[in-house]
Structure 1
Amino acid sequence: MTDKSKPMTERELEALFEEKKHEIGSYLEDLKSRDDYCTQGACDAMESIMYTFYYLLADENYQKICSRLVDFMLQQGLAQLIVKSVKSTGKVAFDFRCNISLLVTHLVTKMRNTNRSVATKVSVELIKNGMIGSLIKELDSYDPNTQDTKQRILITTSLYDLHNLLSAPNAIPIYRAANAVNTLMKFAESDNVMTRIDSLRVLAKIVNEKESQRIAASGECIVTLMDTIHKAAQSDDRKCKFVFNIDGKQKGFRTTLGVVLATVNNLANNDANKESIIQHGGLPTLTAILRPEYTDTEKWQAVEGLWKLSFLESNLDVIVAHFMYTDTTALQALKEMRSSEYIETSNASQGLLHNLGLVGIHEEPPVEQQSQPASRSPSSSAQAHPRQPPPSYQETMDAPHIMISYKWSEQKRAIRVKEELEKTGFKVWIDVDQVEGNILVAMANAVEKADAILVCVSRSYKASVNCQAEAHYAYQQQKPIIPLMVEEDYKPDGWLGMMIAMKKYIRAYSDEVLQKDMPDLLRELRKSRADKKV
């Protein structure tokens, strides 16, 4: 490797690419020729591929060639090789399987920070070749309560791989079709804390309301998460560590405070878990994270989790009493977070305070916030954004309109609906550029001036607290709500299912079905306008 402080020329990069391409290619050819992966030679080859890519990805000098190397490895059958090795239970050495998981982490998770489209391509290729079903079968071969150290680590590698691949588009239906929920439920009830947490990280994103009741019922899973948050929060590096002794060497895994907070937030998408989190100590645990000693990202995660919990009516009085009488320091911290330089943090604190009845929906944050540039969230690497929306955006918002409420990941489908409606003369309001400034105030204005609200129904919509806030406010304002089904075969449940129950669904998950259902959509919109005039 070259001196990290000295940028490489294009010629040097090209030479390095050819060198690593030849090196990795030879290892792949060796591995593809094998029927099992128990030999030291197989372990060495996979370790060499993993570490070669790890060191290249870790140095910004080499990141330019990483995407090309990933394309080369996929062309050489890397995805098929990985899936084949996972399927070969009993023919894979312990070190080989661990290095497979590390490689998947580098290719899918860490690569996403450099080139998201390439990382997505890897996920898609692995899933297309049967990785999800293979991982579930691999887990089914293990005892969730095993005391064997190596097997416990192999369980963790499988769970890590399942979590990493969740970032692929439309992955959740594939997990569910592979019976992932039933398998993961067994591991979420394991005697081993690490296994329980890693299982919940995946389950939290794929369970429906009915399935989440099993997690909520015992309370043991929630208690484990709360205990882990306490341990990670009290450590100097905000991590909870699990250490093992294998062949005389110490190895281990660690989970960060941020990872556990994210898991709690995802579990809080389901109403049964909202109640269980409060019942098992979630309220004081999360409000403690609002204090100054925690990072902006950790405080953002905590307040967003609290905001989600506040949408369950039975939780409201408990949360209000806690802030008003038990932990007034946390209430002061929450109010100060409205002035955060990060838009998502400011928005979440404003939303929580509004749900608790402590600020009005149109009440602006303190004036000092308005003069600050802002990033969208504490984890955002984007440049600062102006807080004021463009004039054309404001003009559309102020006029009577049809509002489309959608999750950012469904933007293409939302825009197609907008285009079709504008052809028929409707004025449509849609947040295409992610409005800056006070998001809740902008949302409230858009809802209040809308003749009807089109809700883009999907799993991601239901999981978004911002989307829930929009839909909830539209419901409170008694606006006509028309469901647009933008995810095929998804059956809404929980708060979203209740809100759109008995309403006529408009299919919009493809251009073909949208064209067929456009007459129904136009009838519903004209009916809502006629009802408004009456």
Structure 2
Amino acid sequence: MHINLFFNIPGNQLSDMSGNIQSLAPKLLTRQTSEEEQEKVVKQGHVSEYSESSIATSTGTESNTFDGAKRESDGVTEGIRDKDLFENAHCSNDSECEVNSQAKDVRCEVVSSEPTEGDNKIDGLRGGTSSSREDGQGQHQPDEEEAENADEKSEENQLEETILIKIQSWLVELRGMETFSTDRALEILKGIANHHWQHPQFRGSIASAVDRVQGADILLTVLKSLSKEGLFKRNNVWYPANYCYNVVWNLSDESSELAASLGDCGIIGLCATNVAHKPYIDHLEKKNVMFLIKASLSILHNLSKIPANRRQFRENDLVQKLLPFTTTDHKYLKALCMLILANIVDEDQESLLDEKGTIEFLIKLLKEAQESEDRRAQGLSCTELANGLGRLAVNDTNKLKIQSANGLPPFINMLNSEDILEQEAATEALWSLSFDPSICKLLSTNEKALSSLRHLQSCGNKAVELSAKGTMWMLRQVRKSIEDEGSVDSKKRGRPKSSRQSSLRRIHVMISYQWSSQKMVLKIRDVLVAAGYIVWVDVDRMCGSTLQAMAEAVEKAAAVIICMSEGYKMSPNCRTEAEYAYQLQKWIIPLMMDMYYEPDGWLGLILGAKYYMDFSGIVPFEESVQKLTRELDSSKGSFETPDSVFVEENVEPDITKSCELSCQASPPGTMNWRAEDVQSWLMEHNLEKYQDSFQECTGKLLHQMKALRQEAPEFFFRSLKEDLGISNFFDILRFTEALQDIR
């Protein structure tokens, strides 16, 4: 969830943010820092740890005392006397608040918009999109319309790059400031907020750009400094604080990386203090206070969706601090609180949700949202509510509670929504729910659900396709289990095995992981490959054919390495892999990737009391990987000869080394390409400037390059630069993307 902010201050010299970005430079950045100044500022390091004593109460006095009754009582009275900000505020409804102060108007408007994880990601300080090309078929001269579209695309890329550079320079300038209750700080924060809502196509890029210059630390420093001055004491404190909270609120919903950085830097502690501060809670009728609590809870909601942030929620005792909101008369705050609790409660705290009727309340809101014109209830969208229920469905006990509360029909209805984000939330929730056999049986007899899921398996959206295929996979597995339970043989065998399992040779080690652990996983893979093992790793978690490839990978695995983390447990994709390996009685080797995670729930049941090796950073990598290789070496006799790798039917050569699948397959016969075909391929991908370097390259050599990228990535990228002359960063991205697509 995020908001758009409109801030108009008559008489102030704040810049007009409309118009072409080129004209904004002199208006919004009146003082450009030199390269030396920026470098000096960036090297100043991170902000100090947050403590509750660092935030002032509503009066804005310099005292940081929290535990005196007189301080709380007198402080609020003093704050209320400040009629400029505390008294004259008014709010129209739960999703929109307006603050009038001395003829100055502030409007915060909540809009329905959900980010797609990973959209518009960029690298480097300058940012920009990775490629401006559009894939074409064959060679042809572009017509006028295509040329015009290309020019527009180029202009948009330039606009994006200009915006990102400007936002990053603003943040560097903020880092160098000693105080933030100034016109310049307000101007910068307003500029960042306005760029977010004026350019929705760049929102993901803006959030990523903020993250790359340690923007989370900078924004927290701003908020802590303004809090010490007293948020409601003066206009020049409240206005920049208002904008800064809006920036954090909005951008934390656009990028999982930035949301993780915000969690790491300590903003969860700041928001936790806000929502638990009694003077604020006692004066929610004051609209600026209400805005502060809404912003804090909304930021907490966005950050609670990142599994790695759950530690900070525990350390700040957020469950207990949020419980009072579960009985509040403010339905929006109550709903927001319920969604946060759905994301952060541990398995042993589920009874708290039962006491508060969380599941029933969220299902009721989801049904109301589906019946409303704007697809919202109490300011929350169908997508947000479905995502919250989907996270609750990870717990096996909650699955049956959702079913008992008649929670399946709303999800099934959302499968046919025109909103792709609603479809994504519904399919993922149904995938999690389908791990319960009784729910699986209900879905398998619901023709509306089956018809919708079949259609969504080829809808064109990778996330929806994967979740739809995952749900259908579970329905088939349950049907197979029922059939196997009726056979005498399966009763003798114990856990059922795939009918293909006995005829497949065990030729590799499979690594099952959640995407946030990929960097460490690829490091482990490289060591195992160097040690002589054939390793199967899926490096594209969102590809349509992943489930079939996963099934073959598990079936052919001599060992399955499970990389445990909070995110792994929450992922239905990971659970599908782990349970299939368990079902086939595979040798499972658990690795710990998250130092703060203790295996629980379904993952704890699968692993039991198995000893695991630590790759979370507590133990040096070299020591842990040596233990892993020794463990594998102890049973190396269970691995079949790799000579069988290329003789299995319908198995691609590169799938046994590492799986990098793509939903955009190249034309058939790429292995048979001649040098001329490769030259055409380069032209189609805007890489014709490198044709001389590829004069002797054939389709077979391209496939070898693709395999080399996985087996020796450092050598691969060094060769691109030194041997083939591809040194431009964006050309490297274009080439590797094109190479990934060849099949």
**TM-score class normalised by the smaller sequence:** 0.7 to 0.9
Q: Name the SS of the counterpart of 2:391 in structure 1.
A: helix
TM superposition shift of 1:157 = 2.5
Task: Tell me, in whole angstroms, the C-alpha distance in 1 between the residues paired with 2:519 and 2:261.
Answer: 22
Match in the other structure for 2:29: 18
1:266 maps to a residue whose letter is R
Distance apart, 1:185 and its partner CA: 3.3
2:525 is aligned to 418
Q: How many pairs does the alignment contain?
A: 461
1:408 to partner: Cα distance: 0.7
TM-score, normalised via structure 2 length: 0.54
Task: Tell me, in whole angstroms, the C-alpha distance in 2 between the residues paired with 1:498 and 1:76.
Answer: 39
Q: 1:153 and 1:273, CA in 2 relative to 1: closer, same or farther beyond 3 A?
A: farther
- Cα gap change, 1:70/1:57 in structure 2, threshold over 3 Å: closer, same or farther? farther
Judged with a 3 Å threshold, the aligned counterparts in structure 2 of structure 1 residues 353 and 80 are, in CA distance, closer, same or farther, namely: same
After the TM superposition, which residues 240-255 of structure 1 pair with which residues of structure 2 at under 5 Å, given as runs?
Answer: 240-241=377-378, 254-255=379-380
User: Which of 119, 134, 137 is residue 270 of structure 2 equivalent to?
Assistant: 134
* Contact 1:458 1:487 (C-alpha < 8 Å) held by counterparts: yes
In the other structure, the counterpart of 1:232 is 369
- Deviations along 1:126-152, one digit per CA (max 9) or x if unpaired, are x53x43223223322349997943365
Please point out which of 431, 434, 441 is paired with 1:320. Answer: 441
Q: In structure 2, how many angstroms separate the alpha carbons of the residues matched to 1:341 and 1:512? A: 43
Aligned partner of residue 30 in structure 2, secondary structure: helix
1:195-210 pair list within 5 angstroms: 195-210=333-348
Q: Does 1:428 align with 2:535?
A: yes
2:394 aligns to what SS in structure 1? coil
Given the alignment of the two structures, is residue 351 of structure 1 paired with residue 470 of structure 2, yes or no?
yes
How far, CA to CA, are the matches of 1:342 and 1:35 in structure 2?
53
Equivalent positions of 1:85-100 (< 5 A) are 85-86=226-227, 100=241
Residues 219 and 280 in structure 1, CA contact (< 8 A), matched pair in contact too: no
State how far apart, in whole Å, the 1-side matches of 2:315 and 2:609 are: 27
Unaligned 5+ runs, structure 2: 1-14, 34-55, 63-78, 86-100, 102-179, 481-503, 641-743
CA–CA separation in structure 1 for the residues paired with 2:591 and 2:521: 9
8 Å CA contact retained: 1:13, 1:62 = no
Tell me, in whole angstroms, the C-alpha distance in 2 between the residues paired with 1:70 and 1:485: 26
Find the residue that maps to 1:353 and give its secondary structure.
helix
* Secondary structure, aligned partner of 2:29: helix
Going from structure 1 to structure 2, the CA distance change for 1:407 and 1:35 (only over 3 Å counts) comes to same
d(CA) in 2 for partners of 1:108, 1:145? 20
C-alpha contact (below 8 Å) 1:108/1:165 kept by paired residues: no
State the match for 1:106 in structure 2: 247
Task: Determine the C-alpha separation between the residues in 1 that align with 2:209 and 2:538.
Answer: 35
Question: Helix, strand or coil: the match of 1:403?
Answer: strand
Q: Which AA in structure 1 matches 2:277?
A: S
- The answer (yes or no) to whether the contact 2:613–2:627 under 8 Å persists in 1 is yes
Give yes or no for the alignment of 1:287 onto 2:412.
yes
Q: What is the aligned partner in structure 1 of residue 359 from structure 2? A: 222
Residues 147 and 52 of structure 1: CA distance in aligned 2, closer, same or farther (over 3 Å): same
Q: CA deviation at 1:318?
A: 4.0
2-side partners of 1:100 and 1:273: how far apart?
Answer: 39
- Give 1:506 deviation, angstroms: 0.7
* Aligned equivalents of 1:65, 1:109: Cα separation in 2: 11
2:399 to 255, 260, 274: 274
User: Does residue 490 of the first structure (1) align with residue 597 of the second (2)?
Assistant: yes
Distance 2:566 2:242 in 1: 27
Deviation at 1:47, TM superposition (A): 6.9
The question of whether the paired residues in 1 share the 8 Å contact of 2:569 and 2:575 is answered with yes
Q: 1:164 Cα deviation (Å)?
A: 3.6
Two-structure CA RMSD over aligned residues (Å):
4.1
The structure with the larger Rg is 2
> Is 1:83 aligned to residue 190 of structure 2?
no
TM-score, normalised to structure 1's length?
A: 0.74
Cα deviation, residue 101, structure 1: 5.8
Code of the residue aligned with 1:106 in structure 2: it is V
Using the TM superposition, give the Cα deviation of residue 96 of structure 1 relative to its aligned residue in structure 2, in angstroms: 6.7
Gaps of 5+ in 1: 23-31, 242-253, 362-396
- Choose from 443, 461, 469 the match for 1:342: 461
CA distance in 1, matches of 2:346, 2:523: 28
Q: Helix, strand or coil for the counterpart of 2:616?
A: coil
Q: Which stretch of the first structure deviates more once superposed, 66-75 or 412-421?
A: 66-75
- Pick 1 or 2: higher relative contact order, CA cutoff 8 A, min separation 6: 2
Give me the whole-angstrom Cα distance separating, in 2, the residues matched to 1:411 and 1:62. Answer: 26
Q: Is the 8 A contact 1:405 1:467 kept in 2?
A: yes
User: Which of 419, 422, 426 lines up with 1:302 in the alignment?
Assistant: 426
Structure 2 letter corresponding to 1:317: S
CA distance in 1, matches of 2:223, 2:249: 13
| Letter of the 1:184 counterpart | L
